[in-house]
Amino acid sequence: MTVETTGPAAEIATLDATGQAELVRRGEVTPLELVDWAIQRIERLNPLINAVVTPTYERARTRARAVPEGPFAGVPFLLKDLIAEEEGVPLSSGSAFLRDYVSGHTSELVRRLQAAGLVMLGKTSTPEFGMVPTCEPARFGVTRNPWNPDRSTSGSSGGSAAAVASGMVPMAHGNDLSGSLRFPASACGLFGFKPTRARVPLGPQYGDMVNGWIAEHAMTVSVRDSAALLDATAGAEPGDPYPAPAQAGPFAAEVGTDPRRLRIAYTPRTAGGELGHPDCVAALMDAVTLCAELGHDVVEADVPGLEQAGDAIGTIFNATLAWLIGSWIRRLGREPGPHDLEPITRVSWEEARGTTGGEYLLAVERLQVFARGVAHFLGEVDMWLTPTMSEPPAPLGQIVSTPDDPLRAYRRGGRTVEYPAVVANITGNPAMSVPLCHNADGLPIGVHFLGRFGAEADLFRLAGQLERARPWADRMPAVHASRH
């Protein structure tokens, strides 16, 4: 499918956020022009891919007219419709349960994004409460993958990934409980980066979430955008329960610096010990070869203890859902009605309410022991490399539950994410999905690097080196704003 569009709105769509900000700094375009052109792209493409569910165009135009300052002055941006709040804007988390909720405060992250000069154009779609690896919520409908509109974007930041991949905006917000920044980045051919635990604050509503598993950041086309954005948002907020390790310097400065010779462990096997889809294994081995050609040492090895972590991970997810729905019951002052939750969410919530505090703390204890093993493993190597996903993007409609089979989406979705991206959430370590490969059908297949705790600089240096060796920005999906 080719989307026809012409003029500056289309031309700008080929630039990353840093490139668009440079045009503003040079006086070649105004923030309002950037915003209006992005709105044109969204209005043209959104009927095809359904990425944006809550537009805030007039707020954006008002802000753009005020000539925002910051490293990304005037650059259009989208927020994922989960966790991050902007005062006066609806937040739904993809659920009918939140249908009347309008945020009464602005998250600290959003304040920092605004201080960086970004202009929010609206909210992007997410599965209900971000709980499955596809973006097909009953409330807003299917979000389509720009590379093939019959395929999933994965999840739960799938709306943001589709918006960036299609050229609506150069980068967009996402968050990550067990891979939700990295899975959609892989499925949509983007760079997806999960920072170290506590690098980006979650206040004022939250101190840490799910024992520090949840991380906030963005999906971008370029590595330099991701690094510069993290520079703009990183740093503890007063009252945070703990800080991330201090940065040695700006992350943006790391991108153009070649890394030292790294020792990179890799495995083609999933958490269950099986090989992933052949396309994903091929992408991994291609990345292994490329890293070796760039002078790094690569060795096949696996993190220890994965097979013992599964039950504890399940307990954490149960406790998370019980907390999440319980938190919204308290905030909204009412229980979910019979049509307020999707079948998978209701059944899972009813089961999750049986999880005790003791069971949760036992799971935390087990996983902290596991995390120590990972830390020792990463004392012997610098990074751990796997495919990001265990299958190419799934056909739409497969990772969906029904009233008769409410857990179907978990079973089918789980088969797409069998490589343990969740290790980065358990340990708090930084991780990234890098879009180095496509399969024979033209679908993106990402590869995943887990770094040492606090070592974002190493990941950004390697990512920049990989981007220079194997550029990906010029490869456009079937649905993209730049196509004429």
Could you give the residue numbers annotated as active site?
80, 156, 180
Cβ atoms of 9 and 41 within 8 Å: the answer is yes
Coil vs helix vs strand at 151 = strand
Give the orientation angle of helix 223-233 with respect to helix 456-469, to 10 degrees: 160
Strand-pair partners of 82: none
CA 442 to chain centre: 21
Helix ranges (H only) for 294-337 are 310-332
Place of tokens 């081995």: 285
Residue 41 token pair: 């792209």
| HSE value, Cβ hemisphere, 13 Å, CA-based, for 338 | 1
What's the CA gap between 309 and 303, in Å, rounded? 12
Torsion sign across C-alpha atoms 314, 319, 324, 325? positive
- Per-residue b/e over 276-314, b at no fewer than 16 CB within 10 Å? bbebbbbbbeebbebbeebebebeeebbebbeebeebbe
Q: Where are the beta strands (DSSP E) in 23-144?
A: 52-55, 76-80, 119-124
The residues near 350 (Cβ < 8 Å, ≥ 6 apart) are none
Q: What angle do CA 198, 203, 208 make, to 5 degrees?
A: 45
